[in-house]
Amino acid sequence: MGRNLRFWLARPDAAPFDPGDAPLALGALLLRAARTDYAGLFSAPATLDAILARRYDLTAAEAAEMREACERVEAAAPQDSLRFAAVLHVAVCYHERLAIALSLIEVTAALGICHPDDPLLAALLQAVLGVHPVDLESPRRAG
């Protein structure tokens, strides 16, 4: 799992992005964020597992397995995190990026890691996932 995605990340201009790789790509992007500028939000593997489980309706074991695949993809991704995010902003449809952002908000709030209005969370959603704040307003008011 993720082998084609790892090849695609090495040369995104050489082949089209397979939309079926979006879950792994987004998981790898969140892993990168958790290991860099946004470690305070969800650096524990269990938090990412919960985000993946919530978004993709997975069991805990399935989410842990998916995270391991995401780790392999993240290791093969461009070292420049901004470039990695930019490539995925173009390749992964906005709806998918928004859905994982909403799952991230729900899980981190439920675990008491951060409030949905946390500026660091807002920065992650915009810079890393490329999600517009206005698209997140309704779920924040409801939660």
Q: How many CB atoms within 10 Å of residue 106?
A: 17
Look at residue 141 in the predicted model and tell me its pLDDT: 46
Q: How far is CA 90 from the centre of its chain?
A: 14
Domain coordinates of the chain in residue numbers? 3-13+21-142
CB-CB contact of 101 with 130 (8 Å): no
List Cβ neighbours of 83 (8 Å cut-off, separation of 6 or more).
none
Look at residue 44 in the predicted model and tell me its pLDDT: 86
pLDDT tens digits in sequence order for the chain, 143 residues long: 467 888 888 888 888 899 999 999 999 999 999 988 888 777 788 999 999 999 999 999 999 999 999 999 999 898 999 999 999 999 999 999 999 999 999 999 999 988 888 998 999 999 999 999 889 875 444 44
